[in-house]
């Protein structure tokens, strides 16, 4: 998988500073594909202030109404959580394990992150 095949999806983001920080983190890692699902209205100035030199990532971000629409062109979708345990019905992986899993998969693939307050 190429880095350009990775798509980052933020579901219901609510904090403009966090969204800008995601843009900056993606750019720092050589990534740029950002999608947002049902974001609350956000102050673009705050997003750009936190994005610093990653305004282009924000400019290219796409907005969708549903997660299904945001991930429709992805061959693989991975949801993230900070929680591990017996209630997780599917396979769980650490970030390192997920990276190794993705390495040999054809893209595009999405990594999905939930709302800052409630997660996915």
CATH at 97: 3.40.1280.10
Per the structure, the complete domain to which residue 27 belongs is given by 3-113
Q: Is residue 32 part of a domain?
A: yes
Tokens of 62: 């796409």
Number of domains, the chain: 1
What does the pLDDT look like over 51-71, one tens digit per residue?
999 999 999 999 999 999 999
Residues of the chain above pLDDT 70, percent = 90
Q: Is residue 118 part of a domain?
A: no
CA distances from 35 to 43, 88, 93, 97 (A): 17, 25, 23, 23
What does the pLDDT look like over 13-47, one tens digit per residue?
999 999 999 999 999 999 999 999 999 999 999 99
pLDDT at 107 over 90: no
Q: Is residue 58 part of a domain?
A: yes
Q: Is residue 107 part of a domain?
A: yes
Q: Whole-angstrom Cα distance, residue 39 to residue 93?
A: 27
Q: What is the pLDDT of residue 83?
A: 66
Q: Is residue 54 part of a domain?
A: yes
Q: Detail the DSSP E strand segments found in the chain.
A: 6-11, 34-37, 62-64, 76-79, 109-113
State the virtual CA torsion across 74, 97, 79, 30 in degrees, nearest 10: -60
Q: Is residue 120 part of a domain?
A: no
pLDDT at 90 over 70: no
pLDDT at 120 over 80: no
């Amino acid at each position: 998988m190429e880095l350009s095949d990775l798509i980052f999806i933020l579901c219901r983001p609510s904090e403009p500073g966090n969204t800008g920080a995601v843009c900056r983190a993606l750019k720092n890692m050589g990534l740029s594909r950002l999608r947002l699902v049902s974001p609350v209205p956000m102050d673009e100035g705050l997003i750009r202030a936190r994005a610093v030199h990653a305004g282009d990532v924000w400019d290219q971000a796409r907005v969708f109404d549903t997660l299904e629409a945001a991930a429709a062109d992805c061959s693989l979708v991975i949801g993230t959580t900070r929680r591990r345990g017996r209630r997780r019905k599917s396979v769980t992986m650490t970030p390192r394990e997920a990276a190794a899993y993705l390495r040999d998969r054809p893209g595009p693939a999405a990594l999905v992150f939930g709302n800052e307050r409630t997660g996915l």
